[in-house]
Amino acid sequence: MINIPKGTKDVLPLESYKWHYIENIARETASLFGVKEIRTPTFEHTELFLRGVGDTTDIVNKEMYTFEDKGKRSITLKPEGTAGVARAFIENGLVSLPMPVKMYYITPVFRYERPQAGRLREHHQFGVEFYGAKSADIDAEVILLANTLLTKAGLNVKLNINSMGCEKCRKEYNAKLKEFFKDNLSNMCPTCKERYEKNPLRILDCKEEGCKKINENAPSILDFLCDECSEHFESLKAHLDVAGLEYAINPKIVRGLDYYTKTVFEFVTTSLGSQGTVCGGGRYDKLIEQIGGTSVPGVGFGMGLERVIMLMEAEGVNIPNDDKVTVFIASMGESANKKAFELSYKLRLKGVSAETDHIGRSFKSQFKYADKIGAKYVIALGDDELLSGVCKVKKMADGTESEIKLDKVLEYNF
Ligand code: ATP
Ligand code: MG
């Protein structure tokens, strides 16, 4: 017996409707906001993530699935969605499209993490990337898109926002942070000791209890924003206010990726234990330049679809199952079986989902089976029906039966 790799999951036939449901909501919401789909490869050159995501991040340091292909190139399975889209944007000259360019993706994401509930080695993200607009109203629009999707999915989540400033504000803030952490260094986890040297801001993102405690009293980035970043943050809040979306300001949100500037945000819930972040994003005005393009501002988010589905289940959201069959044609005897086979095919051609028996079940167990698969109607065909040219259609919801001519089955309004 060969088992599934650790940290991966099968989506089984009886649960795939949940995925269709949330993916449809995601696509519909994207369309309402004028966002078009982009699909990029599952793997990229490793260099893209080193430059795009940043080599002081957990993702690049510890979590990437990197291998050498047969042509001796270093290849990495997507550890997030943004870098690939940014590469495609530059490579395909999308900068010449009318701005803003609004794109979304639904993609598998691979991270070598310690698997636990809501934390997988392959998970799936819906994400958006808006390029070409600097002002904070578009940050608000991106946040509202995520909120619309989560609301349509029947979820109750909280929005946290922050600003990470720009290079200018961060320089001063980093110095202050180092000063603050200096005395606490001996009580911090080994990773944070490294972060202290390379990128002290990352320490604020640490999930170790000891470091979290120290972080409580750390200076706030919001006290170090330059005028431009500060106005941007005020404008973001004003736009969320006019939309009537509530938020909390949380200066500890720094996000796990290096490319963020100004706005960062997270949608969180307390219903999923410690894996409560369902969506995270922000602005990245330097990313396109960092990976070799011209200067184009961007903003977006990534949303973990496994976590969204887990949350829907935890909150008891009713996920409608449209995968049910409309008509089951039960039959007995060789001629009736053939007729049932013919009719089920012709019904499908007309857009009505139809099933018939393939296992040689008795009439009674065909009815039971039809019930099990959720058939809305059952037609029973035997020699009598073939002879009289009339059959019965049973509506399963209330058990009512109506008689129709066999040659009118295809026109029946199921
Ligand atoms: P976390 O702090 O939970 O590790 P992150 O900051 O690494 O999250 P992002 O890189 O922002 O997460 O990814 C966007 C979203 O994708 C997250 O908010 C989460 O919903 C989901 N996600 C991230 N990593 C995983 C994972 N290993 N398994 C399942 N979902 C994940
Ligand atoms: Mg992570």
297-324 confidence digits (pLDDT tens): 999 999 999 999 999 999 999 999 887 8
Which residue, by CA, sits nearest to atom 7 of ligand 1? 256
Give the number of the atom of ligand 1 that is nearest the alpha carbon of residue 307. 20
The pLDDT of residue 95 is above 90: yes
pLDDT of residue 54: 84
Give the number of the atom of ligand 1 that is nearest the alpha carbon of residue 302. 14
What distance separates the 2 farthest-apart alpha carbons in the chain?
94
Neighbours of 49 (CB within 10 A): 26
Give the number of the atom of ligand 1 that is nearest the alpha carbon of residue 120. 28
The pLDDT of residue 362 is above 80: yes
Give the number of the atom of ligand 1 that is nearest the alpha carbon of residue 275. 3
The pLDDT of residue 151 is above 90: yes
pLDDT of residue 56: 76
Q: Is 256 in the pocket of ligand 1 (CB under 6 A)?
A: yes
Residue 285's SS3 state is coil
Residue 316, amino acid: G
In the chain, domain spans: 16-166+226-314, 327-411
CATH superfamily of 16-166+226-314: Bira Bifunctional Protein; Domain 2 (3.30.930.10)
Distance (Å) from CA 397 to ligand 1 centroid? 42
The ligand minimizing its distance to the Cα of 114 is 1
In this predicted model, what pLDDT tens digit does every residue of 173-198 receive, in sequence order? 989 999 999 988 888 999 888 888 88
Give the number of the atom of ligand 1 that is nearest the alpha carbon of residue 207. 2
In this predicted model, what pLDDT tens digit does every residue of 154-178 receive, in sequence order? 998 999 999 999 989 988 998 999 9
Q: Is 107 in the pocket of ligand 1 (CB under 6 A)?
A: no
Q: Is 113 in the pocket of ligand 1 (CB under 6 A)?
A: yes
Residue 176 burial by Cβ neighbours in a 10 Å radius (0-12, 13-18, 19+): middle
pLDDT of residue 256: 67
**CA separation for the pair 357, 341 (Å, rounded):** 9
Give the number of the atom of ligand 1 that is nearest the alpha carbon of residue 118. 29
Q: What ranges in 56-208 are assigned the alpha helix state H?
A: 58, 82-91, 136-152, 167-182, 190-198
Which residue, by CA, sits nearest to atom 25 of ligand 1? 119
pLDDT band at 199 (very low <50, low <70, confident <90, very high): confident
Of 45-49, 120-124, 204-208, minimum mean pLDDT range: 204-208
The pLDDT of residue 394 is above 70: yes
Whether residue 393 contacts residue 375, with contact meaning beta carbons closer than 8 Å, is answered with no
Q: At 348, give phi and psi (nearest 5°).
A: -60, -40
Which residue, by CA, sits nearest to atom 6 of ligand 1? 256
Span 48-70, average pLDDT: 90
Distance (Å) from CA 272 to ligand 1 centroid? 13
Of 320-324, 338-342, 369-373, minimum mean pLDDT range: 320-324
Full-model pTM: 0.93
The pLDDT of residue 4 is above 80: yes
The pLDDT of residue 383 is above 90: yes
Q: Is 307 in the pocket of ligand 1 (CB under 6 A)?
A: yes
Pocket test for ligand 1, best of 106, 109, 113 (most atoms within 8 A of CB): 109
CATH number of 327-411: 3.40.50.800
Span 146-161, average pLDDT: 96
Which residue, by CA, sits nearest to atom 8 of ligand 1? 277
pLDDT of residue 260: 87
Q: Is 123 in the pocket of ligand 1 (CB under 6 A)?
A: yes
Q: Is 94 in the pocket of ligand 1 (CB under 6 A)?
A: no
Query: Residue for token digits 């053939």?
Result: 338
Token pair of 368, please? 């039971």
Whether residue 181 contacts residue 219, with contact meaning beta carbons closer than 8 Å, is answered with no
- Computed over every residue of the chain, the mean pLDDT equals 94
The closest alpha carbon to 270, from 311, 216, 318, belongs to 311
pLDDT of residue 322: 81
